[in-house]
Amino acid sequence: MAALLDADRAGILAAQPTLILSNRPEAPGLAHARAAGIEAIVIDHKAFATRQAFEIAIDQEMQARAIDLIACAGFLRVLTPWFIARWRGRLINIHPSLLPLFPGLDTHQRALAAGARLHGCSTHFVTEGVDAGPLIAQAALAVRPDDNPDTLAARVLALEHRLFPASVNLVATGMARLAGEQCLLDAPSAAGALFSVDV
């Protein structure tokens, strides 16, 4: 989230951040957003009897502000088919692995345990499978012999901070779009964002 706000402040984000929404009142991003002059609200999922009731409340806040695109940054709730269908093609996520490898949690530990030589991050359209939606872009780095989960996580996070704003730009400008179960990249220059490697 901070990387998206930084990109906006630098004038290099093709979308205007309008709202930061969290389901956790203690999320540090809320204060960061408010300090940047962005509206930040909490909708605590614990206050709702069902996941869909929680998501209806989120949807109402988005509709009230005419939001066009949702970028999930550290939002660790599995979304219902109802919400995903409602925001299909306008809901993207970033994940700290080279999907389809290591969906879910503990990605850095799992990559090291598997002996991965490359690791990184992926952006994708959100669909019903967890971390299974069509890929928008990926960035990779070489796993070092002395990496541990913490050092690897820190290096991947630096890639995420570059990849997520670039991916938001691809979707916001229409250069990347969801078509069926595929992400289509319209511009030749967008293909260069699909995979980059840092050593």
Model pTM score: 0.92
Long-range Cβ contacts of 19-24 (<8 Å, 24+ apart):
19/61, 19/62, 19/65, 19/67, 21/58, 21/61, 22/75, 23/54, 23/75, 23/77
Buried b or exposed e, range 152-170, using 16+ CB within 10 angstroms: bbebbeebbbebbbbbbbb
**How sure is the predictor about 188, in pLDDT bands with cuts at 50, 70 and 90?**
low
Chain segment 32-78, per-residue pLDDT in tens:
999 999 999 999 999 999 999 999 999 999 999 999 999 999 888 89
Domain range enclosing 139: 2-198
Chain segment 81-119, per-residue pLDDT in tens:
999 999 999 999 999 999 999 999 999 999 999 999 999
Closest among 53, 67, 52 to 21, alpha carbons compared = 67
d(CA 193, CA 188): 10
Distances (CA, A) of 147 to 16, 122, 184: 37, 20, 35
d(CA 68, CA 191): 24
3-class DSSP state for residue 125? strand
CATH number at residue 43: 3.40.50.170
From 45, 95, 119, 161, the catalytic residue: 95
Residue 161 has pLDDT above 80, yes or no: yes
Query: Quick one: average pLDDT of 131-160?
Result: 97
Decide if 95 is catalytic: yes
**How sure is the predictor about 198, in pLDDT bands with cuts at 50, 70 and 90?**
low
Query: Quick one: average pLDDT of 125-132?
Result: 94
CB atoms within 10 A of CB 46: 8
Closest among 90, 184, 173, 78 to 137, alpha carbons compared = 184
Q: What is the pLDDT of residue 40?
A: 96
Residue 10 has pLDDT above 80, yes or no: yes
Instruction: State what percent of residues in the chain have pLDDT above 70.
Output: 93
**How sure is the predictor about 192, in pLDDT bands with cuts at 50, 70 and 90?**
low
Q: What is the pLDDT of residue 75?
A: 87
Count how many domains the chain has. Answer: 1
Q: Which two tokens stand for residue 7?
A: 């990109």
